[in-house]
Structure 1
Amino acid sequence: MSLKVVIIGGGSSYTPEIIDGMIKRHHQFPVSEIVLVDIDEGERKQEIVANLAKRMIEDAKASIQIRYTKDRRKALQGADFVTTQIRVGGLKARALDESIPLKHGMIGQETNGAGGVFKAFRTIPVLLEIASDIHEICPNAWLVNFTNPAGIVTEAVMKHSQHQKVIGVCNIPYNMRSGIGEIFNVSADRVMIEFIGLNHFVFGKRVFIDGVDQTDEAMRHLIDDDLNYSPANIVSLPWNKNFLQSLNMLPNPYHQYYFQHEEILAKDLQAYRENGTRAEVVMEVENKLFEKYKNPNLKEKPQELEERGGAYYSESACSLMSSIYNNSMDVQTVNTLNKGSIPDLPSDAVIEVNSVISASGPMPLAIGPLPDTISGSIIQLKKFEQLVIDAAVTGDYRKAYASIIMNPLVTSDEKAQMVLDELLQAHKPYLAQFDKEVVNV
């Protein structure tokens, strides 16, 4: 029986991680064909990645055929799983998402604040086109979305596309489990965290090691030992002990943008002045990675890949696909429809939640009402996300402004409009949905 996976954004530097994850799981997830898909701008990188993937597969003696193409519709024929890891506008667009808000004294980050809004504006229309193709060509295929902002993009597809076999994944829950594993000197697979919240705004409500509740001990370590588990793309600062004690839940690294706003902004501005944007740093990392990828003797993913902030996505994505294929009924953390898991949020809202993974997809576990300490923030963030989706789909300027100003990281109505207008102009080639006359309001 053939099993086909299509990777859209095949020229991404992350692709070797996915290939590595599939090779490691080949005995339980017997992929027979992988097709990489990219656009003209990514053609050369895709060829380099494809050649490395072939060497990795040959070295592992895995019976997997790998191909690459720019013809997305042809690639989708017969697909069982489709993964999306795209960046509309590339790293140059990310640099604008970061630099323009920073210029106005705001957080400049690719998935949070004004920059995250514009990444969503550029990405949602493209993901809707991809979902439409999937629904027409391979309607039984699962769409596994890694593209950030993953929660917003996943909800947009589920609300505005006919294709409903859609799941979002993020590496942050895995990073948090790994961090807790290091604290307790155990592997991540022995750690279970009860997650509650949204993508990049999720909290660890309870911690279990081998099924034993170790929440108090985990919090004690986090409070007393100044530990963190930040990925490479986030500046790490120690948490205020009173904050952790009053929260009594694990924060995730992205919470620093919201709860340590002034300190993070100061560090980001300093880093911007000294080294440019994070996007420019990543460009250098990518250049080095692709030079390594070209090496005909390289037959494994290089260690340097971990310098990219999204390292370990393959652990989430490949485990998810394998569990769906095998109807494993195990528990994984994904972005999926709420369906009453958190009664404070709409049933059709996408949340980041522990779910039982079956052949029919994720079944979210009931969490119950949001704790008082975080309910207001999560409800506000969800309302903000829904404004972003509405603006991205309609191209309405006023809805775009509403989504910007309702983001907690945007603190001035005047600056919100300046940043909105500058980013609309800067990204005009990728924002066809916004009326050209309205952009200059």
Structure 2
Amino acid sequence: MKYSENSCSDINICYIGGGSQGWAWKLMSDLYLEESLSGTVRLYDIDSKSAETNAIIGNIISGYEEAKGHWTYKSVSTLEEGLSGADFVIISITPGTFKEMFSDVHTPEKYGIYQPVGDTTGPGGIFRALRTIPMYEEIANSIKRYAKDAWAINYTNPMSICVATLYAVFPEIKAFGCCHEVFGAQRLLLMALKEFEGIEETDRHNLNTNVLGINHFTWINEASYKTYDLMPIYDRLVKKYYKDGICDKITDVHFMSKNLVKFDLYRRYGIIAAAGDRHLAEFVPDYARDKKTIAQWGFNLTPVNWRIENKAMLAKLSREYANKEKKVPITASGEEGVRQIKALLGLKDIITNVNLPNHNQMDCDEGIVVETNALFTKNSVRPLTAGKLPDEVNLIMSVHMNNQKAILKAGLEKKKKLAFAAFLNDPLVKNISISNAKALFNEMFSNTRQYLTGFDSIPIR
């Protein structure tokens, strides 16, 4: 890397999952818009054709006259080629295919379990974790071998398990996990500030929020803007909208939410539930007992068939971009990755929420991957002490933290009975009989067997 005044060039980024038609395009846009950074992005993907197409798209974007950041994109065929000499590693993969994802989300529905997302907790999250762990073992070992000093940024879910696996395999790794769910709660705080104080602030980065919890089950117990304490202002927002709800962002119908779950949890516990309703409902299953209940709480299920159709649409769009039939639209993603890279290069310090193993950030077991704020400075990420959640919230949180440890151990050591014990311990599964839980586990195990090498094939009885 080469530094000049307030800028850095010759940066090498390895993107694992570089054929992505979502996260990779967001990164390209954000790098395009950032004038202080330039370098090379190596795109690695098991779908090499998609990585090759993305390299073409990235170079087209970088060639636009109005580009502020100048990057060269190239596809690579091996992790060694991608990682060797990398300064940063971005990981954004889909663990398995839509076949396994269909099993994650829809097989539990046969037993009355509904998951709006199915990628973090619940039956779907657990099986996604079990097949992700060996993939992340390989990634961690490859980073250790070829890029041990690089910073690794993870976007893949289940976030906590992915980050935990990286550290379990390579304890000295410099890795953290990024998630945008908290941003929705921050947008609600901006809306409350405008509605009740008449202050038109549009940049969530100007808020101070104390974040604590685990990924997709995060909370905010302190929030301020300049001299304003935002907690009582948020209380007014909840009192006004807790019955009918309010949307903080216009998006596809499958991802829309009225924030009714978030508001109800605030009324229960007195602190702000910071993740989106679709995720929160999987941790506190009162809100997702059946389709009627889900509709009453103002969020939607995301069927895998929609994801398949959306993937086909994005693949078509990808070809059109690469063939210059359409111009690639450039918009800031709102994600933190490029800001974090700038901070780690020493260009501008930031504080933002990330997922890291617990070392006194929270009052919970050492090593559990938690989501709190951290200070990013030159070549350093220092997690900030976040404090303690209310005891009532900790009762729920402890179940999921214990499952995080159990699933990680089961995946690393191929302990099928331990995996089933964690499965039984999940709040979504507790609503069905033990016989149905065994049947569901065995069916889902069979559906994703291709990715569960090392486990015995004997059904749970």
Same topology, TM > 0.5? yes
**1:134 and 1:163 in contact (8 A); partners too:** no
For the structure 1 residues 302 and 207, does the alpha-carbon distance in structure 2 shift closer, same or farther, using more than 3 Å as the test?
Answer: same
Aligned equivalent of 2:441: 420
Question: What is the CA-CA distance between 1:224 and the residue it aligns to?
Answer: 1.1
**1:327 and 1:357 in contact (8 A); partners too:** no
- Aligned equivalents of 2:33, 2:54: Cα separation in 1: 18
Q: Deviations over 1:399-421 (max 9, x none)?
A: 11011111111113322222211
Counterpart selection for 1:144 from 129, 143, 153: 153
Secondary structure of residue in 1 paired with 2:167: helix
1:190 aligns with 2:197: no
Q: Deviations over 1:392-441 (max 9, x none)?
A: 111111111011111111113322222211111111111113123x3465
Aligned equivalent of 1:90: 97
**Structure 1 runs, 4 residues or longer, greater than 4 Å off:** 228-235, 240-243, 267-270
For the structure 1 residues 261 and 276, does the alpha-carbon distance in structure 2 shift closer, same or farther, using more than 3 Å as the test?
Answer: closer
Counterpart selection for 1:355 from 359, 367, 374: 374
Q: Deviations over 1:48-97 (max 9, x none)?
A: 32222221111144431110122111111110000111112123321111
1:107 aligns with 2:114: yes
Aligned equivalent of 1:54: 59
Secondary structure of residue in 2 paired with 1:434: coil
Secondary structure of residue in 2 paired with 1:31: strand
**2:355 and 2:370 in contact (8 A); partners too:** yes
- Aligned equivalents of 2:352, 2:329: Cα separation in 1: 24
- Aligned equivalents of 1:93, 1:198: Cα separation in 2: 25
How many equivalent residue pairs?
423
Identical aligned pairs, as a percentage? 20
**1:10 and 1:37 in contact (8 A); partners too:** yes
Q: Following superposition of structure 1 onto structure 2, how do residues 137-286 of structure 1 map, counting pairs within 5 Å?
A: 137-184=146-193, 185-187=200-202, 188-210=204-226, 212-225=228-241, 226-229=245-248, 234=255, 236=257, 238-239=260-261, 243-251=265-273, 252-253=275-276, 254-259=279-284, 261-263=286-288, 265-266=290-291, 278-286=303-311
Question: What is the CA-CA distance between 1:145 and the residue it aligns to?
Answer: 0.7
Question: What is the CA-CA distance between 1:227 and the residue it aligns to?
Answer: 2.6
AA matched with 2:344: I
Aligned equivalent of 2:416: 397
Q: Deviations over 1:213-252 (max 9, x none)?
A: 2111022213312234477554635248664323222212
After the TM superposition, which of the residue ranges 146-155 and 275-284 deviates more from structure 2? 275-284
**1:107 and 1:268 in contact (8 A); partners too:** no
1:334 aligns with 2:351: no
Two-structure CA RMSD over aligned residues (Å): 2.5
1:300 aligns with 2:328: yes
AA matched with 2:270: N
Secondary structure of residue in 2 paired with 1:107: coil
For the structure 1 residues 193 and 208, does the alpha-carbon distance in structure 2 shift closer, same or farther, using more than 3 Å as the test?
Answer: same
Question: What is the CA-CA distance between 1:162 and the residue it aligns to?
Answer: 4.0
Question: What is the CA-CA distance between 1:268 and the residue it aligns to?
Answer: 9.2
The structure whose residues are more often helix, as a share, is 1
Counterpart selection for 1:324 from 344, 358, 371: 344
**1:154 and 1:166 in contact (8 A); partners too:** yes
Question: What is the CA-CA distance between 1:323 and the residue it aligns to?
Answer: 1.4
